[in-house]
Structure 1
Amino acid sequence: MKKAFLAVGNTLRGDDGICAYLGNLLEKEDLGWKVFYAEDTPESQFNLIREYEPDLVVIGDAMTGIKVGSVDVIDVSDEREYMYSTHNLPMPILISYLKGFCKGVLFLGLNVDIENVLEVNPEISQEAKVTALRGLEKLIEINTIFDK
């Protein structure tokens, strides 16, 4: 099964770059995932994802407003009260588009402290690094489920 991880988030806004960090961790694990680094514009990677033709895409993005440090697979595909983010298009619209050419699309939210995304900062906090490790554990779990 071909799997892709779409890392979303601005690496110059502190913990908003948590998924780029997670993408690096995932590549080091060598579990067969192709990582796409989208920064602030996830849609910029869609043509590359389409060419790769994965069976599963997991979109990873920093979230706030839920327990800091938690990692959750969340169904936002039909969310009518759109999640607001720094991105140009709401996540449910992006997911809907990806579902047009990918068999499975999941959203992985990594919850960070909002105070750590407000300033220009090219580093993520130690707390976010621990959360990214939890995200890696979740991706390993997803890997196990979808490789059966």
Structure 2
Amino acid sequence: MKKAILCIGNALRGDDGVALEVGRLALEKLPQWRVFFGEDVPENEFGEIREFSPDVLVVVDAMSGFKEGVSEFLDLSDDREYIYSTHNIPTPILLSYLRSICKSTIFLGISVLLENVLDFKEGLSQNAKNSANLAIQKLINLDQSLKER
């Protein structure tokens, strides 16, 4: 089974880079997964993702709107009105396209405080680092459940 992660975020906007940290952790802890670093223009990776043709693709991005420190797999398939990210393509539209080229596409949202992504600054807050570790554990658990199938 081919598995991949698409990490979305901007490392120069503080906690917006939390998904990029998840990608770095995945390179170390999930070596059988291919990691794509879409950064703040994830559509640049679509060609490579299409060519790789994963059976499972997990899209990871920072988002606000729920309790800080929470990482959740979310179903955004029917929600096209709400813009979840600050990137060029609203997340539900991005996921809709990826679902057309990948057998299974899952969104993993990592909650961060909005004020920690508004300004240009490098580095993650301690809460975002903790959230990245929680998110990688969710991915490790997902990997285990995929192996059991």
Shorter-normalised TM-score: what interval?
over 0.9
Task: Report what 1:66 is aligned to.
Answer: 66
Counterparts in 2 of 1:1-148, with a 5 A limit?
Answer: 1-148=1-148
C-alpha distance in 2, partners of 1:78/1:112?
23
Equivalent residues of 1:77, 1:91 under 8 A apart = no
Cα shift at 1:88? 1.4
Equivalent residues of 2:62, 2:85 under 8 A apart = no
C-alpha distance in 2, partners of 1:105/1:30?
18
C-alpha distance in 2, partners of 1:87/1:30?
26
Deviations 1:26-78 (A, max 9, x none): 11113411110011111110001111111000000001110000000000111
C-alpha distance in 2, partners of 1:19/1:80?
22
C-alpha distance in 2, partners of 1:92/1:86?
12
C-alpha distance in 1, partners of 2:27/2:119?
28
Give % identity.
Answer: 48
Cα shift at 1:81? 2.1
C-alpha distance in 2, partners of 1:94/1:60?
12
C-alpha distance in 1, partners of 2:83/2:31?
30
Deviations 1:77-102 (A, max 9, x none): 11032224211111111111111121
Amino acid at match of 1:94: L
C-alpha distance in 2, partners of 1:145/1:8?
24
TM-score (norm 2): 0.95
Secondary structure at the aligned position of 2:38 is classed as strand
Single out whichever of 88-97 and 9-18 deviates more from structure 2: 88-97
Aligned residues: 148
Gaps of 5+ in 2: none
C-alpha distance in 2, partners of 1:30/1:71?
18
TM-score (norm 1): 0.95
